[in-house]
Amino acid sequence: MTLLDERKTAEEEAVSPKLERRARRRESWRGFFHAAPAYVYLTFFFVLPLLIIFVFSFASRSNTGKPLLENWNLDSWTRLVDPLVRTIAVRSLTMAIANTVLCLIIAYPFAYWIATRAKQRTRTLLLIAVLIPFWSNFLVRTYAWRMLLDSDGYITQFGELTGLWGRMLFTQPAVFIGLVYGYLPFMVLPLYAALERMDWGLVEAGRDLYASGSKAFRKITLPLSKPGIIAGSILVFIPSLGAYVTPDILGGAKTNLLGNLIVTQFQAARNWPFGSALSGAILIVMLVATMIYFRTGGRTI
């Protein structure tokens, strides 16, 4: 009997519970193999570095700043309640929340407008327009803002001409403008996805049931686009809480945020344990905050 014949008989055999179970197990293994590259990658380049950071946060440092894997202690973690850290944390948190809220306010009408265009072509073009900035490097774009906000930039010149504002570079508003600019697309896309999925027949039903246009929006469109609002808020809030490039380039040395503080610990201050503790703490806070946000927003995301 050749191999081919053997397989043939196996296929022609009637299915028994044992055979069915075996087939299902094979299916499940196949699924695992498809996911294996991602597992391996994430283990080496995400889980391990995280563990290293966690371990280092309990380490000590030599006089020259070399991290020493001995004299394990909690010093770095206790330093987190330092007033300076608290000031910076509050500033970062305020900035991240304000950024999220402003992005939401700007992005919602825009996403709504795109999602309600009748022609698919128009919608695609508008979405591409949202994504175009990603074609150039984030660093380059941030430096471009530096030009705009500097003394001879258009924005500064316009502000001085009208007497409304002066040079904004290296101020908190400059950082804020940069953050909103940088994270706006991350709010537009999930909002668009949620609104595009919307059954507009429900809004019609609301209008038919005596809801005015604005009432129908508040009672129907807004609650039904909640998954998009939640997804967008998370996508904007989390990276802006740890933002580093924008505050560094547009805020100069004046606006210190958590991201800059951590970088300083690893570079200039040569205090790896404290930098690691800071990173770990932010990670934990974000995880908890995200979980709470998901819970309140329902499970439909």
Partner 1 sequence: MTSAVSLHAVTKRFGEDIIAVDDVDLQIEDGEFFSLLGPSGCGKTTTLRMVAGLEFPTEGSVRIYDEEMGLRPPNKRPVNTVFQSYALFPHMDVAGNVGFGLKMQKFDESDIRRRVGEAIDLVRLTGLERRSPKELSGGQQQRVALARALVNSPKVLLLDEPLGALDLKLRQTMQFELKDIQHEVGITFIYVTHDQGEALTMSDRIGVMKEGRLAQIGSPEDVYESPENLFVAGFVGEMCLLPAVVADPGSVTLNGGEVIRARTSSPRGEPVILTIRPEKLHIYSTAAEAPPDRNALKGSIVRRTFYGESMVYEVQVGLSDTIDVRVENVPGMRRWDVGDQVIIDFHPQAAMALEE
Q: Which is nearer to partner 1, 24 or 215 (CB)?
A: 215
Q: Which is nearer to partner 1, 55 or 224 (CB)?
A: 224
Amino acid 213 reads: G
Q: Which is nearer to partner 1, 95 or 230 (CB)?
A: 230
Q: Are 98 and 241 in contact (CB under 8 A)?
A: no
User: What is the pattern of x (binds partner 1, CB under 8 A) and - over residues 186-205?
Assistant: -------------x-xx-xx
Smallest separation (angstroms) from partner 1 to the CB of 290: 22
- Cβ-based burial of 10 (10 A; exposed 0-12, middle 13-18, buried ≥19): exposed
146 part of the interface to partner 1, by CB under 8 A:
no
208 part of the interface to partner 1, by CB under 8 A:
yes
223 part of the interface to partner 1, by CB under 8 A:
yes
Q: Which is nearer to partner 1, 91 or 207 (CB)?
A: 207
Amino acid 96 reads: A
| 3-class DSSP state of 196 | helix
Smallest separation (angstroms) from partner 1 to the CB of 166: 48
Instruction: State which of residues 210, 253, 296, 299 lies at the interface with partner 1 (CB under 8 A).
Output: 210
283 part of the interface to partner 1, by CB under 8 A:
no
d(CA 262, CA 277): 9
214 part of the interface to partner 1, by CB under 8 A:
no
Smallest separation (angstroms) from partner 1 to the CB of 35: 31
Q: Which is nearer to partner 1, 84 or 205 (CB)?
A: 205
Q: How many residues are there in the chain? A: 301
Amino acid 209 reads: L
The string over 207-228, giving b where at least 16 C-beta atoms fall within 10 Å of a residue's C-beta and e elsewhere, is eeeebeeeebeeebbeebbebb
d(CA 146, CA 139): 11
Amino acid 178 reads: G
Look up residue 45 and give its DSSP letter. Answer: I
Cβ atoms within 10 Å of 116's Cβ, excluding its own: 12
d(CA 224, CA 45): 37
Smallest separation (angstroms) from partner 1 to the CB of 219: 8
Smallest separation (angstroms) from partner 1 to the CB of 211: 5
Smallest separation (angstroms) from partner 1 to the CB of 17: 33
Q: Which is nearer to partner 1, 187 or 216 (CB)?
A: 216
Which residues would be at the binding site for partner 1 (CB under 8 A)?
199, 201-202, 204-213, 215, 219-220, 223-224
